Each structure stands twice: as structure tokens, then as C-alpha cells.
Amino acid sequence: MADLGSAKSTANIINKYGFSFQKRFGQNFLIDEHVLDKIVDAALVGKEDGVIEIGPGIGTMTQRLCEAASKVVAIEIDKELIPILNETMSGYDNVKIINADVMKTDLDKLIREEFSGMSVKVVANLPYYITTPIVMSLLENHLPVESITIMVQKEVAQRMQAGPGTKDYGALSLAVQYYADTYIAANVPPNCFMPRPKIGSGVIRLTVRKEAKVEVADEKLMFSLIRAAFNQRRKTLVNAVTNFPGLDYTKEDIEKALAELDISEKIRGEALSLQQFAELSNILT
């Protein structure tokens, strides 16, 4: 099978099928063989693994995943790409192509039915507009996956890995780091895609934790506190939490809890670590 991972191969297939890029699906196909190899390497895919690929496009990365893994299930939302994938993947007997929206797919059921006895990894080149909902859905649903290796907007990759007190640190940083260990494997310039996006991308691997990073009595409350803190990040944590809809705490409640943790009542949420948010939540619980 010819390597699909080049600008020429991609252009040939697009022209053959008269394919038009759909803005609503945020389609940007990778056309750099070195980057494609880097993603598969970063995902640590081996012969015992099953892989869920989200957004295979014309199959450039799918091809490499099929060669590295035991089995690949590729989920593609655009029905116009299904006949292309059926052709480009025809040489592989270890791939299943599904035309579906991953946000409406029962991935837990899919894993049980398709990957019995395998460790499962997710690999994706995600559209920028839906990166966070997909990542959080994968993590919050506690799916039996070992890792999630994704191509995302460079700034989003940086936010996922950011620590307290930095400009990139926010609710996404805390949410991702609660569920997973992060590792940025590569930065990818716009010229590695067709069509060419306006911004750079990053490849990040999220290794899913078997146990959460911190002990928290009420996960929902902790994340409400985090959302409150970053919803008005220039305000003190006390003011941000007391003004946040759905949280019913007085200033005195928050000040007392912070005092118990030996934290200043003037602190902003962006200065608190995940551990401190967990401890604050536990006291308020």
C-alpha cells in the first residue's frame, strides 16, 4: 500500500473523489510523514494494543496505526470520507471504519465489543472547535483506555500541561491533570496540514491515571469551585466563589476554609494547585 502521508498523495485522493473540505467539521489533513510517525511513536502503540482513532480523514494516520496495532476502530463523522477510507484502508484486515459522531457514540460499549482482552489507546487529530468537549468526555466517563494522544491547537496543549501561576493555567489544566499525566511530544507548524490552518498545533499524550491524582470527597463540588475561580480569574477566590451561580457559600465560609489551609483570603484561584482545590472542597463538604 502506498504511503498516504504526503501532500501529493493527499491531493491525488482529494482530486480523485472530488472531495471538498468541510469547515463545519474543522478538517485539516496532516501531510507530513515525519509528524505522523511522531504521533504514533508518542502514543506508544504496540502489537497488543487496540486503537480508537477519532477523525481519520482519508486514512493517513490510520494506515500507520494499522501497521503498529492489533486492531483499529476509526470513527469518522463526515460520510463523504467513508468511501475514500474504504478504498485507502482496503489493504488492511485489522481496521473497522464507523461513520458516527464520537460525542454521540457509546465508547464504553464499543471498547467491550471490539477490543476484548486488549489495552486500548485513543489517537486523534482533533478539530480545534471541539477539542475540549471530546477530551473531557473521554476522561470524565472513566473509559477503560490507557492513554489519549491527540493533535490539538498549540495553546490548548500548553493549557493542558500548565501549572499554577502561569498565564496558560486554568480550569482545563486542572481537569486534565486530575485524570491524567501530560506529555507534550511535538509542536507542529501550520505548513504540515492541508488546508493550512492559521495557528500552530501540538501533540500531547494524556496517560490516564488508574486513581485520581488527589483525594476528593465531592468531585462535582471541586470542579464547581475550579470553574468559579477561573470564571472571574482577576477576582479573589473568595469573591469569585461567592458570586458564582450554583454555589451557596458566604464569604465567611470561604475565608474560614482558606484559613484552615493557611492560605490568604486575598488569593486568586489561579494561584491554587489541584491539591489545594481538593483540600478546599473537602473542607467545604
Instruction: Give the residue extent of every domain in the chain.
Output: 7-208, 219-284
Measured in degrees and rounded to the nearest 5, phi and psi for residue 51 equal: -125, 130
Closest CA to 10 of 75, 79, 88: 88
What is the model's pLDDT at position 166?
93
Q: What is the mean pLDDT of residues 190-213?
A: 93
For residues 87-105, one letter each, b for 16 or more C-beta atoms within 10 angstroms of the residue's C-beta and e for the rest, the string is ebbeebeebebbeeebeeb
Closest CA to 275 of 195, 167, 163: 163
Q: What is the mean pLDDT of residues 37-53?
A: 97
Q: Estimate the share of the chain in helix, then strand, then coil, as percent rounded to the nearest 5.
A: 45, 20, 35
Q: What's the pTM?
A: 0.92
Rounded distance, CA 265 to CA 20, Å? 55
In terms of Cβ atoms closer than 10 Å to its own Cβ (0-12, 13-18, 19+), residue 156 is buried
What residue has cell string 465489543? 113
What is the model's pLDDT at position 153?
93
Measured in degrees and rounded to the nearest 5, phi and psi for residue 211 equal: -130, 150
Report the interhelical angle of 154-161 vs 171-179 (nearest 10°): 70
Q: What are residue 119's DSSP bridge partners?
A: 49
**CATH code reported for the domain at 219-284:** 1.10.8.100
Over the chain, what is the mean pLDDT?
94
Residue 146 pLDDT more than 60?
yes
CATH topology of domain 7-208: Rossmann fold (3.40.50)
CA distances from 237 to 20, 42, 165, 240 (A): 48, 37, 14, 5
Question: Which residues 6+ apart lie within 8 Å of 40 measured at CB?
Answer: 61, 64, 65, 68, 123
pLDDT grade for 31, boundaries at 50, 70 and 90: very high
What is the model's pLDDT at position 213?
87
| pLDDT (tens digit per residue) in 84-133 | 999 999 999 999 999 999 999 999 999 999 999 999 999 999 888 889 99
Sheet architecture: strand order including 147-153? 95-99, 71-76, 49-54, 119-125, 147-153, 201-208, 180-188
CB 123 within 8 A of CB 61: yes
Domains 7-208 and 219-284 share a fold: no
| pLDDT (tens digit per residue) in 255-281 | 999 999 999 999 999 999 999 999 999
Q: What is the mean pLDDT of residues 34-50?
A: 96
pLDDT grade for 2, boundaries at 50, 70 and 90: low
Q: Is the peptide bond before 190 cis (omega within 30 degrees of 0)?
A: no
Q: How many C-beta atoms lie closer than 10 Å to residue 37's C-beta?
A: 14
Amino acid at 35: V
User: Percentage of the chain with pLDDT > 90?
Assistant: 88
